[in-house]
Each structure stands twice: as C-alpha cells, then as structure tokens.
C-alpha cells in the first residue's frame, strides 16, 4: 500500500482512499503569468508519481489541478512572504503586472503561459490531470462559496468593502504549518502592523474590492466589483471537482503557509468537516547551489534543456534520483549524467524482442515497493542501474523489465515505438546491442548511410542484420 509523508501528521502515513479503489488528488497548479521553472516542475511531478504508483496497484486516480489566471495579491495576509514571492512585488498583482509589461490582455497572456505549462508537463511525461480548471472560469463557484462562509459566520465585509475570512472562527488553524494564531505576528505592510480593514491581523481576503483604476480581471458580486483572493480558488475548485473528501493535496513546501493553511480553514469551515485527508509537500530545488529566482537571473526552464539538446525526460530521471522531500541542488552536470543513463536504458530497451515472459517480476515488485514507500524513487533507480549493468542477466530480460518499470518511471524508455525485432536465440553482447539500437535510431531519422555503416560494423563482429516490416532482424553470421 502507498505510504506518503503527511505534513500535518508529521509522519509517513498509509494512504487509504476514502472511496475504495479510487484515489482523489488535488494539485496546486501554476500561476500563468510566467513560465514554470524546473523547480516548479519538480513539484508538479509529485502528483504524477503518486498516480502512477496507485495505478500500478489497480487504483483509479482522479487529479484536479488549478490554473491561476485571475491574478492575486502577492500577500493577502500581511503576514510576510510565503516563500514563493519575489521581493519588491508585495501587494502588486502579478498577472496584471505581466500584462502591463507585455502590453497585452491579462487573459491572453495567461493562455499563452498555460499552453507552455501543459507542453512542459507533456515533455516531462507528467500525465494530464482529469480536470485543469481555470480560476477565471470558476468565479461563480467562488462567489457562492464566499456567500456560504459569510452566512456561516466565518467571513465578514471589512472596512474597505473587501470580504475577509475570520481566522479566529476556526478552532484548529495551524494544523499543517504549526503556525498558531496567537503566535503569528502582524506583517509590515501597514503602519503599526495591522490592516485597519480587518478585524484581526491574521484574517485574509476572500474577495478584494477593486480600485477604479483596475479594468481587467474584475467581476461583479454582491460585494461590489472586485477579484478573488488567492486561497479561495483552490477551495472552490477542489470542492467542485473532487467533492467533500479528498485523499491527497499536493503542492510545493512554500505553499504550506499561508496558502494551504488558509485554504484548509476555508474549506473545512464551508463544509463542516475535515475535507483533505493528507497534505503532501515537495521540497525546493536549488540549481548550481542557488535558489532559482528571476532577480538572481538563474531561472532554468524545460525549454533551456531542449536548447542544449537534452531530452526533458533526463530532467525527470534526475528528479527521480532524488527524494521529493529533500532539498536538492541540481546542476547541469547531474542533468547531463541523467541524460547519459537515459540513453543507455533506451538502447537496452530498443534492441530486444521483449515479451511478458521475459519480465523479472521480482525486480518490478522491488521497484514498485520503493515507490510505495513514500516515493523513494532514488533507491529504485539505484537497483535498476545495478540490474541493467548485471552481465549475468539476459538482455531481453533487462529490456522487458525496464519497459514494465517505465509505467512507474515515466521515462519513455520504449520511445513510444515497437521494439526492434530480434530473431536470435543467442545472447547479444552489449556492444552489438548498442550498435543495433544506434542503427534503429539512424533508420528512424532516415539516415540510410549511417544505417549501412553500422550494418557493416555488425558484420565484422559476426552478426547479420536485415530489415523486415516490423523492424531489424539479427542473426549470427555463419562462418
């Protein structure tokens, strides 16, 4: 059974879906005013790894992930940075700031970055969520929810006409982050530290009254023209698409507070029960020793890998070589090394007529159990490396086993192509296997000259390769 580290419980917990056989996951998605960098992508990989592991045990998995395209104040609470915030932008709306600097409509920019996010996920083998709702298209849900929270006495209209959540109206605030209300200090955005529009400094905006100057991303509501606070969109989408019992909620560690803490308070207050069963967070990624940020100028995108000629699945493999709860310092050298390993495994898979009968089921089970054990993917890669290197194991067994494990790994080891036919009972030496794989790649790119060079090379090694409808056929040459 799948076990994951539950941030609220501060322990690794067994994950038992509320509905038997059906796992529901809510994943905090991107704010689409700029590209997601590779550190963000590591977080977005998390629900995919959980889903693949659950699938392997026959579970149905439903993932909902939000697209934040309505903009939000960077820090609605005045309680200080959540960690995801660039310095100097507090209180500004990131979507509108991006629209301003690009001179376009905020939603048009959002669609552009959303498409790039979806493409990056595909390039990393991150399965598409069942629902990918846009905040801008869920405003009525949020308005209804805010109405419910006011009705139930959990929200009020503040001095500035905005609607605020009353943090003191819930008894267990701080369950995820450990930040208790009585210990939270007011932020620095207001003279004296307290926003005069709120009853209590830790209250946060559910709905912000828009200034007259704001003409984009505003909606009419019973509380005037305005726009939603950040946290309310996740509450609204989670309840709409997944219902009142959600097994796992994922996000980056920086979202633990205040985003998830506030989201949890709102959601539970609206429904009247604890809705999310497990909160699971992925750690930060450093690159070449530093936290990636726009101001430091060291943001790395998936596109940057492609520009360097690196298959994005190599990045995925580099992530798998680490534990999602460990802060990792990634480097180009590590990504290059992962790319090399990826090529080697793909070559192994490409050359053999792997069949179900060739699968080393013990190895598959070992890898699956490691995934189930709080996604200890790094250990799984280590055992697979040893397995793939082991010269006593037949190459067809290696190929078939890697291909099956790829359901979990998501490395596209089969290159989405049928395996090369291999009509031989002989054990194929590694150098021959590698040449055959290279020839297969050459033929895929219609490089017939290279294909012929490799055929001749194989002949000198004592192997005859011919081409058939289904792929290459290999035989030992008769002397």
Contact residues for Zn ion (CB under 5 A)?
A: 28, 234
**Nearer of residues 234 and 363 to Zn ion, judged by Cβ:** 234
Output the smallest distance, CB 234 to Zn ion, in A. 3
* 193 in Cβ contact with 187 (< 8 Å): yes
Sheet of strand 155-157: strand arrangement: 155-157, 163-165, 204-209, 226-228
* CB 206 to Zn ion: min, Å: 14
Q: Considering the complex, what minimum distance in angstroms separates the CB of residue 416 from Zn ion? A: 32
Determine the longest span between alpha carbons in the chain, in angstroms. Answer: 94
102: number of CA atoms within 13 Å, CB side?
17
Q: How far apart, in whole angstroms, are the C-alpha atoms of residue 378 and residue 323?
A: 6
Can you name the residues that pair with 63 across neighbouring β-strands?
25
Q: Let me know: does 248 contact 9? Beta carbons within 8 Å.
A: no
For Zn ion, which is the closer residue by CB, 261 or 311? 261
Question: Could you tell me which residues come within 8 angstroms of residue 269 by beta carbon, excluding any fewer than 6 positions away?
Answer: 149, 152, 154, 165, 169, 170
CB of 176 to Zn ion, least distance (A): 12
Listed residue (373, 419, 366, 64) closest to 237, CA to CA? 64
Q: Which CB sits closer to Zn ion, 234 or 315?
A: 234
Q: Which of residues 165 and 463 has its CB atom nearest to Zn ion in the complex?
A: 165
Q: Closest CB to Zn ion among 238 and 436?
A: 238
Minimum gap (Å) between residue 276 Cβ and Zn ion: 11
Look at residues 34, 25, 472 and name the one whose alpha carbon lies nearest to residue 293: 34
Query: Which CB, 195 or 254, lies closer to Zn ion?
Result: 254
Angstrom distances, CA of residue 367 to CA of 98, 375, 401, 407: 44, 10, 10, 11
Q: How far is the CB of 447 from Zn ion (least distance, A)?
A: 47
Of residues 49 and 236, the one with the C-beta less far from Zn ion: 236
How many angstroms separate the CA atoms of 413 and 405, rounded? 9
Closest distance of CB 261 from Zn ion, Å: 11
Residue 183 CB, shortest distance to Zn ion, in Å, is: 24
* CA distances for 338 relative to 124, 283, 310, 344, 476, angstroms: 14, 20, 10, 10, 33
Is-contact 377 370, C-beta < 8 A?
yes
Q: In whole angstroms, how close is the CB of 433 to Zn ion at the nearest point? A: 47
Residue (283 or 311) nearer to Zn ion, CB: 283
> Residue 195 or residue 263: which is nearer to Zn ion going by CB?
263
User: Is 261 or 372 the residue whose CB approaches Zn ion more closely?
Assistant: 261
- Closest CB 392 distance from Zn ion, rounded Å: 49
Rounded CA separation 260/254 (Å): 9
Please state the closest distance from residue 223 (CB atom) to Zn ion, in A: 22
Q: Nearer to Zn ion by C-beta: 173 or 463?
A: 173
Q: Minimum CB separation from Zn ion for residue 240, in Å?
A: 14
Q: Which is nearer to Zn ion, 6 or 233 (CB)?
A: 233
């Amino acid at each position: 059974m799948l076990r994951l580290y539950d941030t609220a419980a501060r322990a690794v917990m067994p994950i038992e879906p509320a509905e038997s056989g059906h796992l529901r996951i809510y994943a905090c998605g991107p704010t689409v005013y700029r590209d997601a960098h590779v550190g963000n992508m590591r977080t977005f990989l998390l629900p995919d790894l959980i889903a693949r592991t659950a699938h392997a045990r026959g579970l149905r998995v439903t993932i909902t992930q939000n697209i934040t395209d309505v903009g939000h104040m960077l820090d609605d609470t005045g309680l200080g940075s959540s960690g995801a915030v660039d310095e100097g932008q507090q209180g500004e709306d990131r979507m509108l700031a991006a629209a301003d600097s690009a001179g376009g409509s905020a939603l048009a920019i959002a669609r552009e970055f959303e498409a790039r996010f979806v493409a990056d996920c595909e390039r990393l083998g991150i399965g598409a969520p069942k629902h990918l709702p846009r905040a801008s298209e869920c405003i009525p849900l949020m308005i209804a929810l805010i109405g419910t929270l006011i009705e139930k006495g959990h929200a009020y209209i503040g001095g500035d006409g905005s609607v605020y959540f009353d943090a003191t109206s819930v008894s267990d605030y701080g369950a995820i982050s450990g930040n208790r209300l009585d210990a939270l200090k007011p932020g620095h955005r207001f003279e004296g530290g307290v926003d005069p529009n709120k009853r209590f400094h830790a209250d946060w905006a559910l709905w912000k009254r828009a200034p007259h100057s704001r003409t984009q991303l505003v909606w009419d509501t019973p509380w005037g023209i305005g726009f939603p606070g950040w946290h309310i969109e996740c509450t609204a989408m989670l309840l709409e698409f997944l219902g009142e019992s959600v097994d796992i909620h994922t996000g980056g560690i920086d979202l633990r507070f205040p985003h998830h803490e506030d989201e949890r308070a709102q959601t539970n207050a609206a429904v009247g029960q604890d809705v999310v069963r497990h909160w699971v967070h992925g750690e930060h990624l450093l690159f070449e020793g530093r936290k990636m940020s726009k101001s430091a100028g060291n943001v790395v995108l998936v596109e940057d890998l492609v520009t360097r000629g690196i298959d994005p699945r190599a990045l995925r493999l580099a992530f798998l070589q680490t534990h999602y709860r460990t802060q990792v310092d990634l480097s180009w050298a590590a990504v290059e090394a992962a790319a090399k390993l990826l090529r080697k495994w793909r070559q192994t898979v490409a050359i053999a007529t792997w069949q179900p009968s060739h699968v080393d089921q013990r190895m598959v089970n070992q890898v699956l159990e490691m995934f189930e054990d709080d996604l200890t993917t790094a250990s799984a890669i280590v055992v697979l490396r040893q397995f793939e290197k082991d010269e006593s194991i037949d190459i067809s067994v290696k190929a078939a086993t890697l291909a099956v494990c790829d359901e979990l790994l998501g490395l596209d080891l089969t290159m989405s192509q049928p395996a090369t036919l291999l009509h031989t009972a002989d054990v194929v030496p590694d150098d021959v296997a590698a040449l055959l794989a290279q020839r297969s790649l050459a033929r895929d790119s219609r490089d017939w000259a290279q294909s012929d060079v490799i055929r001749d090379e194989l002949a000198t090694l004592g192997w005859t390769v011919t081409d058939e409808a289904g792929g290459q056929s290999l035989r030992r040459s008769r002397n």
